[in-house]
Structure 1
Amino acid sequence: MKTYSVCTGNLRVGRRLLTWAVAMVVLLWSLGGCGLQEPEKITAENALKRLSERNRPRFNDDAGFASLRRSIASARAYLEKLDPDRQFTFGPDVYPASRLLATLDAFEAVLDANPTPEELNRQVSEKFLVYQSVGSDGDGGMLFTGYYEPLLEGTLEYDPEYRYPLYGLPEDLVCVNLGRFKEKFKGEQICGRLSGNSLVPYYTREEIDSKNMLEAEGLEIAWVKDPVDLFFLHVQGSGRIKDKYGHTYHVHYAGKNGQPYRSIGKLLIDEGVIEKEAMSMQALREYLENHPEDLERVFNHNPSYVFFDVVDEPAIGYAGQPLEGGRAAAVDHRIFPMGALAFVQTEQPAVEHGVLTRWEEMNRFVLTLDTGGAIRGAGRMDFFWGNGDYAEIAAGHMKQDGRLFFLVVKEGNDA
């Protein structure tokens, strides 16, 4: 669920009709207490705390700087498209986009010197302010999960061998930025469709896949061979489709139906089908492939549905820029800044002959370039592993504890 190019906040209606009826429905809903939940207690203003020098972590990096520079380039491209005065919140402090760009410049200058681990730690500690996420427990505790870019067998033209469609964005999908109506809903949106003069929830996964509500709309952009692969593509948010002739196509997230995301992993844990300690994407896949009679029920437990585009580029994140495997991450964009330089302390898998053998310490600089429907709150980060066998294993098994920090270059009297 990760490569996003979400609605901009303008009311978007099929055939480009924009009616006062929709505006009034949304306004009444957002202002009139129609069941919307209050925002979480954690906000952008308290999700990060600035650390004193004695409380900062030791900064080191366990991956090559070349991939880090490519991810920095993606963050820079994102920030350069913004108004230089666009504000980003780092807990108690607010900085313009120009300060985030200056942070990337200063950090690349450190990398240019090809520093030793000791020198890297010293330079970062001296030149940057450090903020730590309060985490899910208020004490910095984070849960790190992973995602990747899967490869599916499929085709862009219908073929009886490839029966499961990917749908493009429906014209009747309406996405509304509620923050434009009331400040307390900043970062929140609802998606639905018009039924007469009413805005109603958009079709669920069950209505789309089991009841074929979109079948006659001509929205199919590709077809794939395996329904399990397709479901996991929805979870990952982007992927590649390889046809029988060896051609490969990139498919990216274009939007979603606005329905809540519900974990099928949690469903099977609650039902006692898979033990919590044994849960992974691989365990899920094994169960689903061995129980085809249960696919429809399990899949429909998650009403959220993703729509796709076929594009030329590899994985693109919420920030609209390429994601570098091992150097990009998804966070809750409502409370953490996009395009920011971050530092993570967690664990990564060691894999031998295609088998996860152990977990090893991971200390790494990453850039926040993506978000996701299940990535909510100050205690979550989803780490993008790229594509390939290792990426699939890492993404499927990763559910590690850790710590998350953000860096901002010092200026003037900053201490």
Structure 2
Amino acid sequence: MPGWPGEDPAAALVPLLRSCGALEAQPPWTALCAAAAAADDPRAFFEHWFRPVPLGTGLLTGYYEPELRGAQAPGGAYQVPLHALPPAGPLRLLDRAAIEAGGLAGQGLELVFVDDAVDAFFLQIQGSGRIRLADGQVLRLGYAGRNEHPYRAIGRSLIARGAIAREAMSMQAIRAWLAAAPPAEAAALLRENPAYIFFRPILDLPAEAGPIGTLGVPLTPGRSLAVDPAFIPLGVPVFLATRDPVDGTPVRRLVVAQDTGGAIRGPARGDLFWGWGEAAAARAGLMREEAGMVVLLPRDTPRDTP
């Protein structure tokens, strides 16, 4: 693998050990996880226990954990609800426009109320977030499910109408367009995406831990990857060869597949979790890079220790 072992392979042991929390009861993970916990030479550990399988070159995007302002009851600026997952049935057939028009009102599904509809929209795109309440408490929300409508990228609509050039497209560019547009036009664009995400409170999650991914473990900034599990098993390491979206410096990094996403489809397609805060949002919003990807699969029989 060109560039192996890349940037600090020891840092990849942190998310790998978190994967072990979900996988260590399964062979060959039982022995592998015990070895990971005792590893004093990370490079030798990964070379001993895994075999590389090239996936080719594909698209690498980024995501992050947003922080919004909210209140537990509607009032003043806090008028935009975030909802829990409705029971199976007709309520899940409602599209975004119907829900924003009050289609879920009176069902007791409101978890919290935030002060910005655009922030709420992007929280749904990211799938998890932190809501800072007026008393200083922080409510962590995680993905609980979605309605039964397909995801449609509003960025594609803006490209199609010539509002943003394809090469200039980013989360930041979409936000700038929405901020400059008349409110009714901005709301109409958001409703072009009929998909709607529901949340659940995540309790007892330390502030320094990332959100819970599909594997059921906290994500690690810069080291957790969302993948298509039809091609990459959850829990395994993936070696990335790409570049930083902000300064263009080469990135050669071992990450761990711990999450999935509605737009993440195909063998060499990934979404890198950057963390939380402004720096993470900047990188996640700009990241749309070509990346070489190699998945590391557990060896049936670990090779001899070097």
TM-score, normalized by the shorter chain, greater than 0.5: yes
- Matched to 2:41, the amino acid is A
1:336 counterpart residue number: 232
Partner of 2:13: 69
Please report how far the alpha carbon of residue 78 of structure 1 lies from its aligned counterpart in structure 2 after TM superposition: 1.1
Aligned-partner residue type, residue 103 of structure 2: M
1:304 matched to 2:195? The reply is yes
Aligned to 1:371: 260
> In the alignment, what sits opposite 2:170?
280
Counterpart in 1 of 2:280?
391
SS in 2 for 1:338: coil
Q: Tell me how far apart the structure 1 counterparts of residues 49 and 290 of structure 2 sit (CA, whole Å).
A: 28
Closer, same or farther: CA 128–321 of 1 in aligned 2, 3 Å: closer
Contact 1:100/1:340 (<8 A) preserved:
no
Aligned-pair CA distance for 1:239: 0.5
1:251 — aligned with what?
Answer: 141
* SS across alignment from 2:65: coil
**Against the structure 1 CA distance between its residues 159 and 63, is the aligned structure 2 distance closer, same or farther, given a 3 Å change threshold?**
farther
- C-alpha separation in 2, matches of 1:101 and 1:261: 38
Aligned length: 298
1:99 aligns with 2:28: yes
Which letter does structure 2 place at the counterpart of 1:303? P
Question: Structure 2: which amino acid aligns with 1:61?
Answer: G
Take 1:204 and 1:282, find their aligned partners in 2: how far apart are those partners? 25
TM-score, with normalisation over the residues of structure 1?
A: 0.67
Could you tell me how far apart the structure 1 residues matched to 2:34 and 2:236 are? 12
- Contact 1:145-1:381 within 8 A present in 2 as well: yes
Does the 8 A contact of 2:83 with 2:198 survive in 1?
Answer: yes
Amino acid at match of 2:166: K
- Mapped contact 1:103–1:408 kept (Cα < 8 A): no
What letter corresponds to residue 241 of structure 2 in structure 1? Answer: Q
Counterpart of 1:128? 50
8 Å contact kept, 2:222–2:272: yes
Q: Deviations over 1:202-221 (max 9, x none)?
A: 11111111x32111212100
For each residue in 1:100-150, what CA deviation from the matched residue of structure 2 results, as whole angstroms up to 9, or x when unmatched?
A: 4544555565x5136xxxxx3x775565311111xxxxxx12100000000
What is the RMSD computed on CA atoms of the aligned residues? 2.3
SS in 1 for 2:12: helix
* 8 A Cα contact 2:61 2:287, kept in partner: yes
1:170: Cα distance to partner? Answer: 0.5
Query: Does the 8 A contact of 1:99 with 1:408 survive in 2?
Result: no
- Shift of the 269–124 alpha-carbon distance from structure 1 to 2, 3 Å rule, reads same
Letter in 2 for 1:310: P
Q: How much does 1:413 deviate?
A: 8.7
After superposition, the Cα gap between the structure-2 partners of 1:128 and 1:251, relative to the gap in structure 1 and judged at 3 Å, is closer
Rg larger in structure: 1
Structure 1 unaligned regions, length at least 5: 1-55, 85-97, 115-119, 134-139, 174-192, 196-200, 350-355
**Distance between the aligned counterparts of 1:214 and 1:287, measured in 2?**
29
The runs of 4+ residues in structure 1 deviating greater than 6 Å are none
Asked if 1 retains the 8 angstrom alpha-carbon contact of 2:53 and 2:296, the reply is yes
Alignment partner for residue 180 of structure 2, among 283, 290, 306?
290
Q: What is the CA deviation profile of residues 64-104 of structure 1, one whole-angstrom value per residue up to 9, with x for unaligned ones?
A: 73x43321122001113x6x2xxxxxxxxxxxxx1245445
Q: Which is further off, 160-169 or 99-108? A: 99-108
Partner of 2:40: 112
Q: Is 1:234–1:305's contact at 8 Å kept on the other side of the alignment? A: yes
Label 1:280 to 1:413 Cα distance change in 2 as closer, same or farther (>3 A).
Answer: closer
Structure 1, residues 149-182: CA drift from partner, whole Å, max 9, x if none? 00101112222220100000102x2xxxxxxxxx
Corresponding position: 1:324 with 2:214: no
Corresponding residue number in structure 1 for 2:67: 151
Query: How many Å apart are 1:57 and its aligned residue?
Result: 3.4
Does the residue aligned with 2:249 lie in a helix, a strand or coil? strand
Q: Equivalences for 1:181-200 in 2 at 5 Å? A: 193=89
**Aligned mates of 1:101, 1:297 — CA distance in 2:** 51
Distance verdict in 2 for CA 1:126–1:412, change over 3 Å: closer
The answer to whether the Cα contact below 8 Å between 2:57 and 2:268 also exists between their aligned partners in 1 is yes
Distance across 1 between alignment mates of 2:128 and 2:215: 14
Measured against aligned partners, the alpha-carbon deviations of 1:357-387 in whole angstroms (never above 9, x if no partner) come to x211111111111001111111310000111
Q: CA deviation at 1:414?
A: 6.8
Which has the higher mean CA deviation after the structures are superposed, 151-160 or 124-133?
124-133
Report the Cα distance in structure 2 between the residues aligned to 1:127 and 1:255, rounded to whole angstroms. 35
